[in-house]
Every structure is written in structure tokens, then in C-alpha cells.
Chains A and B, each alone.
Chain A
Amino acid sequence: MSRSLALKALRAALPARCLITDPKGTKPYETDGLTALRQPPWLVVLPETEAQVRQVLLICAQHDVPVVARGAGTGLSGGARPVADGVVLGLSRLDQVLEVDLDNCVARVQPGVRNLAISEAVAHHGLYYAPDPSSQIACSIGGNVAENSGGVHCLKYGLTVHNVVGLRVLTVSGEVLELGGKTLDSPGYDLLALLCGSEGMLGIVTEVIVKLLPRPPASAVLLMAFDSAAAAAETVSQIIAQGLVPAGLEMMDQLATQAVEDFVHAGYPTEAAALLLCEVDGVPEEVASNVELVSRIAKEYGAIELRVAHEPHEQAAFWAGRKAAFPAAGRLAPDYYCMDGTIPRAALADVLGRIAGLADEYGLPVANVFHAGDGNLHPLILYDASVPGEMAKAEAIGGRILELCVAVGGTVTGEHGVGVEKLDQMCVQFSAQELDQFFRVKDSFDPNGTLNPGKAIPTLARCSEVGGMHVHGGELPFNNLDRF
């Protein structure tokens, strides 16, 4: 690796305003949304065109300098955290909506466009982009693709992978891959699906074609309170079992509800052990009959309070608390650690009970606010990093929660990605041979491991240290292959 030669080449290829070298300037790039982990980058590059992105890739590949792509830096697993001696390739200046194609109901945008900006750009046509992560005012569509992000409405409308129809990707060697497009099918292997959720490890996304949906004509939000988490969880299962797929179905426990109430005064019943928010949408008649159905189920399963918001401003008030839940939890303790396991819905009540048990065992409070409809948990472990040992305890609870998720048939990450944070838990979820298959996929795009090294897939060496990995036949496969 020759950093001085690389820097010289980058200076020649890009305007000075695109390079940040001084430590003060690179400081904001030391971490993403997982702020507990920091790593100063060697250099931050903020290209303004795809051609410049390509130059950066070619120069870095040539000089063996690692490249970490970055969108808005809101990721919660350390995916965009710099690596030592590496370049942070910030895509935020590629922020144009390139085309809105109303005939095909798609928009073509650059990767740095903010998630919400897409829906804003097409709102006057009665259209929107469905995936709505809570971070949607800030996070970029490129980051959404790299994490396959979800949101409150993905229960009915799907994740990023279901709403992106085309990608333009630069490989590490500067080649353009056009994947998918405005068509509903494309020949060959589905590399578009493979790129979704690939955490900047396989290629750099330089354009995204997203599907636009017509806004539903009517909607309603139900707020339901329960005196036990188990009753709320049972209601969730029943709603789905009755053949209804709500637009959103979210749950908050008492700790989260109280935090939210103190913070935004959403009018939530704080005495309840658990709250459910359920949004139904469609034509007005359908909304009315579904409100009735959900109300009936909630009462049957012991709801102690039930409110329905029909008007947009009432619905916004109901959602306001849910959307403020993360910052609200942030006020409960100096630090929190947000987990992201997904489990089958049937296991909700059991797993919530066991999480409460872990909270007691370690003596740290855990608040739960999550996408109940698709079993995607977000336990927020509250701690104080300035108290010696608390951060380690928080990590220990987190690790055990994720192992619990795997044990009941779920996964260690539903939507936040592995990044650097969940590498150890990956060893629990996957065998050595499965990890090896991941490496061969990585290899097929980026044989020298230039893109985001050390993220997303743990090395076999790491897993054998963790001890969680099931090694088949006592032997690691492909002993002759390099690991990265």
C-alpha cells in the first residue's frame, strides 16, 4: 500500500473540495450511528460525479487502499465505520433525483438522495416510495440498498429489496454493472437482490431505480393498550392469523412508552404494560371494516384501552411517539445499545419475557420498541459508558438476546446489518462452510478485499476464537484460501 502515491493520484483526479485530509474535517466520519465505535479515517473523499467515484476506486485498488462507502452515516451496526489507513468514500454529494417516470411509476435517483426526499419529490403526483426507516429524513437511498432497510410500513409494502427495481453499480475495478431496470424481470442471476443488504462489500451503488406506489386513499391508526406484553403479542399473532396484513403493526413496552410520554407527550397511556399501534389502509370501506376487525381482536385478547385515529393529524400524533422512541430512550440513560434480531411472531411473548429476565440478571434496563408485525425486535439496552464495566455488560446482554433470536428460529439482524457489531453472532448463525460460501461470493466481486474489509462476514479464525461456530468434521474447509 502506498498512501502517498494514492493521495497524489486522488489530488490529481478530483477537485480539492472533494478531499478531506485534516483530522478536524474527518472527525464526523469516525463513526456511523453506532457511536460507541470510533476509528479515524486516513482520508475522506466526497466525489460529485460517478466518474469521480470510479477514479477513486481505480486509484485505491491500484494502491491497495481499503475503501469504505458511506451514505448518511446513520447505520446502526458500524457498516460505514472507517478502517485504519482506508478511504471513506462519501456518496452524499451524489444527491440528485435524475428522473421521475410517471408512466412506469419509477424514479431514478443518485445514491446520496435522502429516503424521504424521494417521496417528497413525487408527492404532488399522489405517489410515494414505500420503505420508511425511522431515520428517513437523514438516511440515503444508497445506504438503504446496502442495508436492505425496512420501516414501519414494510409489513405490507416490503423492504428495500422489494421496492428497488434497478441499480447501477461500480465494481472495485471500475466496471459498470446495470442490474434490473424499469422492467419487471431481467435475464441471468438476480444480482440486484444480492447487492441489497451487501453492506458496501460487493460494489458501490451509483444509481437506484425505485418503485413508486400510489398513496392509499384512506387509512386509520389504532392505538391499543394491554396490561401484559404477552397479551399484546398474542393480539399481533391473531391479527395476522385473521388474514389481515396491516400497513404497520408496532409495539412498545412500558419503559419505552413512559420515555416517549415524558419526551413528546403523545398522550400514550403510561400505565399500560404494552402498546400496539396498528395502521390499516385502503379504500374507505375496507379501512372501516379492518378497524372493526382489529378492534374486535384486541378486545378479545384483553385490550384495556383502544383509540382510533381517522384524521391525518390524529394519526400523526399517534405515530409521533413511536417515531420519537429512539431519541426518547436516549434520555433515559447516557447510552443505549439498539439490537435488531428477528423472530417468528409466535415466539414474541416468550422472547420478550426472556429479555426481561436478562435485563434483571445483568441489572441493566431494556426498553422494547419494535416492528411487531414482522417479528423484528429492537431491544434498547440502557447503560452508562462512563461506569466501568457497563458497556461490556450491555454488549453481553445484546449478544445473548441475539443468540436467543437464532435459537427460536430467527436471525441476528433484521434490518440494521452485521457491520462490525454482529460479527460474533454471525458465527452462531452460520457454519464454517456457509461463511466460506459468503467469502467466495465476496471474492467473485472483490478478490483483493478492497471494499469495506473486515465487515459483515466474520473470518473463520474469529469464529473459532468466539467458539460459537459449528465446524463440520473438525476441519475448516478450504484451508488453503486466504481469509479477509
Chain B
Amino acid sequence: MSADDQSERLHEAVRRACADAQPLLVAGSGSKRFLLDALVSDGAALLSVAEHVGVVDYRPDELVVTVRTGTPLHDLQGLLDANQQLLPFDPPRFEGGGTIGGAIASGLAGPARPWRGSVRDCLLGVELVNGVGERLRFGGQVMKNVAGYDVSRLQSGAFGSLGVLLTVSLRLLPKPAVERTCALELDAPTALARMRQWARQPLPLTGVGYQAGVLWARLAGSEPAVAAALAELGGEPVADGASWWDDLRDHTLPVFKGDAPLVRVIVPPSAPAPLEGSVVEWAGGLRWFAAEDAAHGQRLAAEAEAHGGYACGFDGRYARVEHSVMAEALRIQQRRIKHAFDPQDLFNRGLVEMDAD
């Protein structure tokens, strides 16, 4: 075992925690800790996977990489970059940091989500230690695999509450030959209508967003395809367009930076509200608001729910597994899933309301 491979140490740590009924706070680099701080119980001991790093297997021809979960996103992206490939789901890099394990566990996808898929869409396999201290492998390194239940994809968005991820295998995409951004000045409702119109056309889009009177579109693919699409969309080509998408992805636009609480609103992309005042991505499907006050936050939630969506504060409660929009039967099933993997509720205790069952 190389120093980079901490599997045995992590496995042993979980086994010991099982025996001692010691709750664990599972963490990578800590860049997303702010999403679960208000939840995780006080007595939890830190279990860091940050030292568990390195690429286990990468054959660019296969468009698949298998990597230890503590590997910094930055390192992995550098490697993929050098091979003209990319992670499909545009993971946010908060404060420039983050590990691949955290990116998978948080399930947060960036601007390309509607076109290149969600985090779990590219998750092909995992190795994990569950809450009874067993080291298990699910899925694999191939695109198509229906042997057994899809336990791998279940880990995305679970915030580590079902197991400590040791390695993940991810499907990659070739980097497009060119990527261009254009911008159109429109008011929000008109921009939303335009977004939905584009969604029905075969355009090589990889990002559609909106901020303060400007509709942004990112196109990627072969030179001729992108050129044709740019002509079709109209609008002004933006010379350093990539930086706007990076700011959106990494949460460095003003909406993310102020003191006001950040609210993440998920709605069917065509939902007319809530819209005003938001930064929009996913062609309408994701909208970020800086909440003016508690009442504003509640209004956003009510509007989102009225249109078949939901709102979440993007703060220490974000990682909770249950949500008020869930029907009771679904909550109960969520708890049962937690119980199936981590019956003592050792991992990130507080994310699931175990006792209420």
C-alpha cells in the first residue's frame, strides 16, 4: 500500500467507530463543510479522506478515470486537461478547493448540467466502507452495467451519509474543439422564454444563464457547429466569456458573495417564478437568490413549490436528506435507506432524522 492509498486506514477507522458507536464527520478538504455544519452532531470525530489521493486507473481511450476520493479536484482536472478530456458535470470549486470525493458526495453540478448530465450520471462505480465497517465495491469502469442495484449512483448527493467513499470511477467527455460564449441583453421573462425556445432546438449548448439583464449562452463542439449556432442565436460574442461561466460555477459572482443568505431554487425550467432578481443557470432550472430577509426566503420557497419545485438555503442545512416538499412515505423510505447502509447512524449524524421513524 502506497502512502497515497489510505484505504486500509480508513476502513480500520470505520470499523473501530462501529465497535465504539462513535459518530464520524466524514470530510475531504472541507470546502463544502459549510453545507452541513448546522447539522452534524457535536460528538462526531473527524474522519478525513484528504490524504487518500491519487489516480488508480486512467486510460484516456476508455473515457473513464478511477480515482481516490481525497484527490484534489484541481489535480484531477489538470490531468484530464492534459489529455483533452473533462469531467462532464462542471463541479464547483469553492475557494478554489475541493476533492473529487466531496464533489461526488455533494452532488453539485455546474452550468453544463442540462446538457452533459448530473453528477450521478457520470458515476460508474464506487468503492466504499459502509456503516457496518464493510469495504464494498459497486458498479465498475464500464458505461453499461445493470448487475445488482445501482448503489453507486445513490452515493451522489448523499453527503457521505451512506458510506465513506474510497474510490470512484467516472465517465469522462472529450474536450470540445472550441467553446464560445455570447450575450444578449433581455429582461428576465423574455430571456426565460428564449431559453425554453432554444431547448427545443438542436443547438450545441453547454450553458445558458442569466444575470441582471443579460442572457448568456455557451456553445461547444466543432468549429463549424459552434459558428452556425452562434449565428442562429444572435447576440454579441464575448471575448473572455469563459470567465463568466467560471464565476457562476465557482460561486464568485456578486450574488454568491454578499452577506445576504443565499437561496438555491430548483424549478421546472419553464417556471415563470420565482425569477426576478435571480441569477439563473441550467436554462431556467436553477435560480440563485440573495434573500433580503426571512420573509423573502419564505416567499421564494412558496413560489417554487407552487411551480413544482423547491427552495433550499445554501448554508449549513443544505445537506439534510429530508425536505419539507417530501411526502411522508418518501421521508420514511429515505430513512430506511440510511438504515440499510448505516444502521447506527455513524456517518454525518444529523443529515437524516433517524429517530422519527
Contact = CB atoms under 8 A, between A and B. Distances in A.
A176 B327 CA distance: 9
B63 A441 contact: no
A193 B136 contact: no
B202 interface: yes
A61 to B, nearest CB: 15
Given A161-B153, A190-B154, A193-B120, A147 B337 contact: no
Interface stretch (B9-17, B45-53, B308-316): B308-316
Interface string B94-131: 00000000000001010001100110110000000010
Contacts of B274: none
A435 B325 CA distance: 33
B341 A409 contact: no
B210 to A, nearest CB: 16
Which bracket fits the contact residues of A? Answer: 35 or more
Interface in A252-291: 282-283, 285-286, 288-290
Which bracket fits the contact residues of B? Answer: 35 or more
A178 interface: yes
Contact of B337 (A215, A238, A376, A444): A444
A344 B145 contact: no
Contacts of A282: 202, 204, 221-222, 225
Interface in A191-243: 191, 193-194, 196-198, 201-202, 213-217, 237-238, 240-241, 243
Interface string A161-184: 110000000010001111101111
Interface stretch (B33-41, B252-260, B265-273): B265-273
Given A240-B63, A241-B61, A282-B225, A189 B142 contact: no
Nearest to B227: A285
Contacts of B330: 177-179, 188, 191
A416 interface: yes
B269 A187 contact: no
- 10 pairs of A and B residues whose beta carbons are closest in the complex: A285-B224, A243-B174, A414-B144, A103-B270, A187-B323, A193-B153, A175-B329, A182-B268, A444-B336, A286-B225
29 contacts: A103-B196, A103-B269, A104-B268, A105-B200, A175-B332, A179-B330, A182-B268, A183-B285, A188-B323, A191-B330, A215-B202, A241-B60, A243-B174, A243-B177, A285-B224, A285-B228, A286-B225, A342-B142, A344-B59, A344-B62, A375-B144, A411-B147, A414-B144, A418-B148, A430-B148, A435-B148, A445-B333, A445-B336, A457-B148
Given A105-B199, A285-B228, A410-B142, 12 more contacts: A175-B332, A187-B310, A187-B326, A196-B150, A197-B149, A214-B202, A240-B63, A283-B225, A375-B144, A418-B146, A438-B149, A441-B337
